[in-house]
Amino acid sequence: MTTFLGNSPWKFSSYPPGPEGLRSRHLLLSVVGDGGLEMDMLEDLESLQFEYGIREEDRCWLYLQGRSRGLMIKACAHAAFFCKLFRNLRESLHEKQTSKRLSTGSLDDAPDDDALRAGIIGGGRLGQQLAHALLQLVPIPAEGLQISTRRPEALAEFQKLGVQCFYHNSSLVAWANVIFLCCLPSQLPNICVEIQTSLDKACIVYSFVAAVPIPRLKLLLNHTNILRPQYHCGEDFVNIWGANKDITAALQDPAILQATCPYSPAGGIILNVKWLEGVFYAALNLCTAKDMPHAQVLQLLSEQFLSAHFEDCGKDGASCPKFQLLDFVSKAYAKNLLQKR
């Protein structure tokens, strides 16, 4: 809740209570300058900090606050990386198909703009932070993002930016080519019933519902093109994730940015390797949906994923690592795979 004090730039913000059993309230007094920047005037006042009302025997649980923030930052950073990668991949596919049609004189049949269209189901804290990350870090234009939530009136800041916010999950799914599930586990079964008939085969479902594994999601959605990041929190957790900053601001910190690299142990939160495998196969699915021969798919994926050039590759880069067919399919399958398949 935010209350402006008359026409002055001062405001009070109240936050919900701390952990269960602690009824402390954290009041933040800040001043907003002409540029819209906020300065926490009470940052160094110990008696008004979140931790002040916590009993000494309960302070051992404070690390959960940092871990929750670290998980949120990593989740949004990886989703932004995924969207940026797939935006580039879709643009490359569009360019190649347009070039091919130009060479064959069939430009009239060229597909429409194949821009990335991302939809978020759920407008809570995760959904809002994810929306900020996609808009600022990918960046996705406002017209390329839609949010479906039971309370669209609570997303006025996104509507002002031009993001469509409404409550109609099936319409969102029919429009988007990437769907982010940011709902509660208890809401998921009903949402899946609503959207499963509207899901295009090539649409990628990216689930943040940690309690529901991929096999269960496949059954609920009758869909297989699903990504679900899994995070492991180690015993050596170190709270490097900062505080009182939004996620896009936190990712300007070099230490935090480095810790979001997949499989980096920094901070004690590690992403399961299956996520990157899922990204590769989602990319294959996208190319398959465009009827692209597998040799061209491997070349395109090498350009997107293996673009780094190392000194020992040679000056021309011809010896740089490239994806091979057997990196993705078995020998038996590859043996019977036609060149145009």
Task: Categorize the per-residue pLDDT at 1 as very low, low, confident or very high, splitting at 50, 70 and 90.
Answer: very low
Q: pLDDT tens-digit profile of 23-68?
A: 333 333 334 444 444 445 555 666 665 565 666 655 555 656 777 8
- Between CA 293 and CA 297 the distance in angstroms is 6
Give residue 253's identity as a one-letter amino acid code. D
In Å, what is the CA distance from 166 to each residue of 52, 186, 288, 339?
A: 39, 21, 32, 45
- Between CA 309 and CA 321 the distance in angstroms is 9
Per-residue HEC secondary structure of 292-335 comes to CCHHHHHHHHHHHHCCCCCHHHCCCCCCCCCCCHHHCCCHHHHH
Q: pLDDT tens-digit profile of 73-131?
A: 899 999 999 999 889 888 888 887 777 666 666 555 544 567 899 999 999 999 999 99
- Average of per-residue pLDDT values in the chain: 78
Lowest average pLDDT, out of 74-78, 237-241, 250-254, 260-264, goes to 237-241
H/E segment holding residue 11: strand 10-15
The predicted structure's pLDDT at residue 264:
79
CATH fold of the domain at 60-98+113-306: Rossmann fold (3.40.50)
User: Higher-confidence residue: 312 or 299?
Assistant: 299
The predicted structure's pLDDT at residue 30:
38
Residues 136, 108 contacting (CB under 8 angstroms): no
Q: pLDDT tens-digit profile of 166-195?
A: 999 999 999 999 999 999 999 999 999 999
Spans of all domains in the chain: 60-98+113-306
How many beta carbons lie within 10 A of that of residue 250, not counting itself? 22
Q: What share of the chain is helix, strand, coil (3-state, %, to 5)?
A: 50, 15, 40
Cis-peptide into 189, omega within 30 deg:
no
Lowest average pLDDT, out of 122-131, 196-205, 255-264, goes to 255-264
pTM as predicted:
0.77
User: Higher-confidence residue: 170 or 18?
Assistant: 170
- Between CA 332 and CA 319 the distance in angstroms is 27
- Between CA 212 and CA 197 the distance in angstroms is 20
User: Higher-confidence residue: 14 or 298?
Assistant: 298
Give residue 138's identity as a one-letter amino acid code. V
Mean pLDDT in residue range 280-302: 86
Residues 146, 172 contacting (CB under 8 angstroms): yes
